[in-house]
Structure 1
Amino acid sequence: MTHLPNSLQGRDITYLLHPVTNARAHERTGPLVITRGEGVHVFDDSGKDYIEGLAGLWSVALGFSEKRLVEAAIRQLHQLPYMHLFASKGHEPSILLAEKLVQMTPKGLDRVHFTNSGSEANDTVIKMVWFYNNAIGRPEKKKFIGRIKGYHGITIAAGSLTGIPANHKGFDLPLDFARHVSTPHYWRFGHEGETEDQYSDRLAAELEEMILTEGPDTVAAFIGEPLMGAGGVIVPPRGYWPKIQAVCRKYDVLIVADEVINGFGRTGKMFACETYGIEPDILVLSKQITSSYQPLAAVVFSDAIYQGIADGSETLGTFGHGYTTSGHPVATAVGLECISIIEERDLVSNAARMGRILREGLARYKDHPMVGEVRGEGLIAAVEFVSDKATKAGFQPVGLAAQAVMAACQHHGLILRVSGEAVCFCPPLIITEDEIRELLHRFDLAMTDAFAQIAAV
Structure 2
Amino acid sequence: MNTSRVNTEELSTKDKRHTIHPWADLATASTKGDHIITRGEGCHVYDSDGKRYLDGIAGMWCVNIGYGNQEMAEVIAKQAEELVYYTPFGAMTNNLSAELGEVLAGLAPGDLNRVHFTTSGSGAVDSAVRFSHYYFSALGRPEKKHIISRTESYHGSSYLTASLSGKAVDRTYFHYMSDIVHHVTGPNPYRRDEGLSLTEYCDQLVDEFEKKILEIGPEKVACFIAEPIMGSGGVLVPPPGYHKAMKKVCEKYEILYILDEVVTGFGRLGHFFSAEPVWGIVPDIITTAKGITSGYQPMGAVIISDRLYDRISGSNAPETAYFTNGYTYSGHPVACAAALKNVEMMQRDNICEHVQDVGPYFIRQLKTLERHEIVGEIRGNHLMACVECNISGNKTAAEKKDMTAAQAVDQFCDQQGLIVRPYEALLILSPPLIIDKAGIDEMVSILDSSIEKATEALRSDGLIR
Q: Counterparts of 1:397 and 1:309 in 2: how far apart (Å)?
A: 53
**1:176-228: per-residue Cα shift (whole Å, max 9, x none)?**
21111102111212x33322111111111100000001000000111000111
Q: How does 1:45-444 map to 2 (within 5 A)?
A: 45-189=48-192, 191-273=193-275, 274-310=277-313, 315-316=319-320, 318-389=322-393, 391=395, 394-396=398-400, 399-444=403-448
List gaps (5 residues or longer) in structure 2: none
**Closer/same/farther in 2, CA of residues 323 and 106 from structure 1, 3 Å limit:** same
Counterpart CA distance in 2 for 1:79 and 1:432 is 36
CA distance in 2, matches of 1:72, 1:380: 29
Pairing 1:34–2:41 present = no
For 1:43, which of 42, 46, 59 is the aligned residue? Answer: 46
Contact in 1 for aligned 2:247/2:281 (Cα 8 Å)? yes
User: Partners of 1:116 and 1:393 in 2: how far apart?
Assistant: 35
What is the CA-CA distance between 1:169 and the residue it aligns to? 2.0
Q: Which moved more, 1:238-247 or 1:191-200?
A: 191-200
One-letter amino acid of the structure 2 residue matched with residue 420 of structure 1: E
Secondary structure of residue in 1 paired with 2:123: helix
Counterpart-to-counterpart distance in 2, 1:179 and 1:143: 8
State the one-letter code of the partner of 2:101.
A
In 2, distance between residues paired with 1:443 and 1:195?
31
Q: Deviations over 1:238-259 (max 9, x none)?
A: 1111111111111111100000
Shift of residue 95, structure 1, vs aligned partner: 0.5
Residue pair 2:190, 2:395 contacting (<8 A) in 1 also? no
Question: Greater CA deviation, 121-130 or 24-33?
Answer: 24-33
Q: Out of 210-219 and 357-366, give the one that drifted further.
A: 357-366
Q: Which residue of 2 aligns with 1:448?
A: 452
What is the letter of the counterpart of residue 339 of structure 2? G
The amino acid that maps onto 1:35 is: T
Give SS of 1:280's match: coil
Count of aligned pairs: 455
| Mean Cα deviation higher: 207-216 or 242-251 | 242-251
Q: Compare 301-310 and 281-290 and name the one that shifted more.
A: 301-310
Mean Cα displacement is larger for which, 345-354 or 278-287?
345-354
Inter-partner Cα distance in structure 1 for 2:417 and 2:65: 20
Aligned to 1:363, the other structure's residue is in SS state helix
Could you tell me the percent identity over the aligned residues?
Answer: 37
Question: 302-311 vs 349-358, which deviates more?
Answer: 302-311
Deviation of the 1:445 alpha carbon = 2.0
Native 8 Å contact 1:114 1:297 kept in 2: yes
Query: Which runs of 5 or more structure 1 residues have no equivalent in the other structure?
Result: none
- Measured in 1, the distance between the counterparts of 2:363 and 2:142 equals 47
- Alpha-carbon distance in 1 for matches of 2:320, 2:366: 56
- Residue type of the partner of 1:437? D
**RMSD (Å), alpha carbons:** 1.8
Cα deviations by residue, 1:78-130 (Å, 9 ceiling, x for unpaired): 11110121120111111011001111111120200000000011111121111
Task: Kindly indicate whether the alpha-carbon contact (under 8 Å) linking 1:36 and 1:44 is maintained by their aligned counterparts in 2.
Answer: yes
The superposition leaves residues 347-383 of structure 1 with CA deviations (integer Å, 9 ceiling, x where unpaired) of 1121122222221111112222111111010111111
Asked whether the 8 Å contact 1:372–1:386 carries over to 2, the reply is: yes
Cα deviations by residue, 1:247-302 (Å, 9 ceiling, x for unpaired)? 11111111000000000111123322121112100000100000011010010001
Q: Normalised by the size of structure 2, how large is the TM-score?
A: 0.94
Runs of 4+ in structure 1 over 6 Å off: 2-6
Distance 2:344 2:369 in 1: 37
Letter in 1 for 2:258: V
Deviation, 1:307, is: 2.6
Cα distance, 1:163–1:95 mapped onto 2, change above 3 Å: same
State TM-score, norm by structure 1.
0.96
Amino acid at match of 1:184: P
